[in-house]
Amino acid sequence: MVDPEAEQRSDSQLVLPAALQAEVVAHCLAAFPEEGCGLLGGDPTTGVVRRCYPTRNVAASSCLYTVDPREYLRADRDAEQRGLSIIGVFHSHTHTDPYPSPTDVAQAPDPSWHYVLVSLRDELASLRSYRIVEGVITEEPVEPGS
Amino acid sequence: MSVEVRLPTLLRPAAGGAPSTSVEGATVGEVLRALEVAHPGLAGQVLTADGELHKFVNVYLNDDDVRYLDRLDTKVGADDVVSILPAVAGGAA
């Protein structure tokens, strides 16, 4: 028997247009050597991202991030005015793989969100997206959309 | 007085599905306690058993994080909006 939730997770994807992927990576590079972070505004049902909200990392650390709470509030309001929702968060790992750390899993705020990781370890930044549901990490494809 | 409380997506199902609700209260603490009474499914989601703010949520009065105001003792007026959002954090550590 197919677990409908597992089925849904395996079907999930993030549609992140190339220009927004570039914006995400550029913000992470600008924040280096600290971790860069931000929020993604889009359609929760399709996983299509329409807007990137780079935010300050108030943890100001190379191994931790905390999205500035006031910038999150502003992003949430802006997204709502545009008919969007905050559907995910991105952050960089400056020296490790683009894979959620135990800290990322423990602090994942919302199981419906997309968790985008950008690794700056290698010369070329790499970007991946995951779902994190009850501590279980599932990678999902990142499509540039049309 | 009645104060509007805006809820994050994750907490909406426990409050009937609406993005915001109105409850009575003269301080942020009173508003949040009234919210839990009105929607018992929210109990423990915003306030700890000791009645403090959970570290994994941020509560705002209009544009300001109440941790930088008077926390739960922050006074609220009829035109104020209390917003609740998850704290978003993590990292490679």
What is the value of ipTM here, to two decimals?
0.90
Tell me, yes or no, if A120 comes closer than 8 A to chain B by beta carbon. no
**Residue whose C-alpha is closest to residue B21's, from B45, B40, B2:** B2
CATH fold for the domain made of B2-86: Ubiquitin-like (UB roll) (3.10.20)
Confidence of residue A11 (pLDDT cuts 50, 70, 90): confident
d(CA B42, CA B30) in angstroms, rounded, equals 14
Res. A28: pLDDT tops 50: yes
Provide, as residue numbers in chain B, all residues whose Cβ is less than 8 Å from the Cβ of A108. 90
Confidence of residue A105 (pLDDT cuts 50, 70, 90): very high
Tell me, yes or no, if A126 comes closer than 8 A to chain B by beta carbon. no
CATH fold for the domain made of A19-143: Cytidine Deaminase; domain 2 (3.40.140)
Pairing of strands B2-6, B81-86: parallel
Average pLDDT over residues A102-126: 95
At B11-68, the pLDDT tens digits run 999 999 999 999 999 999 999 999 999 999 999 999 999 999 998 999 999 999 999 9
**pLDDT at position A10:** 57
CB pairs under 8 A between A and B: 84
Confidence of residue A98 (pLDDT cuts 50, 70, 90): very high
CA–CA distances in Å: residue A9 to residues A134, B16, B30, B42: 12, 25, 39, 26
Residue boundaries of the structural domains of chain B: 2-86
Average pLDDT over residues B80-86: 97
Res. A96: pLDDT tops 70: yes
**pLDDT at position B49:** 92
Closest Cα in chain A, distance from residue B47 (Å): 16
Task: Return the residue of B nearest to A36 by Cα.
Answer: B91
- Name the CA radius of gyration of chain A, rounded: 14
Average pLDDT over residues A63-85: 96
**pLDDT at position A7:** 45
Answer whether A101 sits within 8 Å of B88, measured CB to CB: no
Residue boundaries of the structural domains of chain A: 19-143
Answer whether A61 sits within 8 Å of B91, measured CB to CB: yes
**pLDDT at position B67:** 93
Confidence of residue A50 (pLDDT cuts 50, 70, 90): very high
Cβ neighbourhood burial of B3 (10 Å; 0-12, 13-18, 19+) = buried
Closest Cα in chain B, distance from residue A3 (Å): 22
